[in-house]
Structure 1
């Protein structure tokens, strides 16, 4: 399935050029056109899924296995010092293209934007933490 107005669907279909680093029947992996670091890549399922809530569980599992495989390969080839695997859902969480994708971001010691994933920590009381835990716990 494809969505006509989706830029990633157009890239997958070959209508927009990309720097493809891997492709199989389920995924196309491209270098990000606006990278956070050298080698920043995107895992794109060939079928259109809007986000984590929409994606088929089997495809999601395959995406994570592919991310692990590529992270090892990219670390070896690029000589990076660390690695982020990131997946955003909805605009408030930073999703800008509404086609499920995973970011593979090699990290380098002393790079200019090493604060790319920093945030301020929030504080919750023990009672609040217990309430959150209990609301999220599944039996």
Structure 2
């Protein structure tokens, strides 16, 4: 798995994704809830590696780092302040398992976790950003230009298999 710079066409696809999100937000529609119904904003593209009744975990198609992971709550919460404590515990347990995989499979030295739920009508999600050997240390990892995920099929399968027996 690796990240490459976006081509002109890929940059346009990302721009269109942001445009669709903004249009939905302007109408008061949560884009993540909309996506759970339609799958047309964040199509699976084989990136989902764990899912249960509470969360979906997938590699970001336009990552800021190799292994950039999204953990999205299935139920709608605007941000972390609305999240029930039980869901937070669930997300931390899943995150712990994924972080261990990032370190083992990708060789991550550190994994940063953040939630950025800004703008109109947002949806609670967390991002895991692995820092590999040689990557810049610190907050700059959150501000990198997006790339395009490449050759992730094998890594997705490894994560699926390793998380298959995951018990909470």
Report if TM-score (shorter chain) is over 0.5. yes
Higher RCO, 1 vs 2 (CA within 8 Å, ≥6 residues apart): 2
Q: Residue by residue, what CA displacement relative to the aligned partner does 1:57-109 show, whole Å, maximum 9, x if unpaired?
A: 11111111111111101221111222111123545xxxx97211111111112
Structure 2: state its 5+ residue gaps: 1-24, 141-168
Question: Where in structure 1 do 4 or more consecutive aligned residues deviate above 4 Å?
Answer: none
TM-score (norm 2): 0.57
Flag the 1:13–1:74 CA change in 2: closer, same or farther, 3 A.
farther
Q: Residue 131 of structure 2 contacts residue 137 of structure 2 at CA under 8 Å; is this kept in 1? A: no
Residue 101 (structure 2) pairs with residue 73 (structure 1): yes
Residue 91 (structure 2) pairs with residue 63 (structure 1): yes
Q: Residue 9 of structure 1 contacts residue 48 of structure 1 at CA under 8 Å; is this kept in 2? A: yes
Q: Paired residue for 1:25, among 36, 49, 53?
A: 53
RMSD value, Cα: 2.5
Partner of 1:82: 110
Residue 37 (structure 2) pairs with residue 13 (structure 1): yes
Structure 1: state its 5+ residue gaps: 119-139
Q: Residue 40 of structure 1 contacts residue 105 of structure 1 at CA under 8 Å; is this kept in 2? A: yes
TM-score (norm 1): 0.68
Aligned length: 110
Partner of 2:139: 117
Q: Residue 84 of structure 1 contacts residue 105 of structure 1 at CA under 8 Å; is this kept in 2? A: yes
Flag the 1:115–1:34 CA change in 2: closer, same or farther, 3 A.
farther
| Structure with larger Rg | 1
Distance in 1, Cα, partners of 2:53 & 2:125: 16
Q: Residue 12 of structure 1 contacts residue 28 of structure 1 at CA under 8 Å; is this kept in 2? A: no
Q: Paired residue for 1:107, among 131, 134, 139?
A: 131
Quote how far apart the aligned CAs of 1:26 are.
0.8
Flag the 1:81–1:90 CA change in 2: closer, same or farther, 3 A.
same
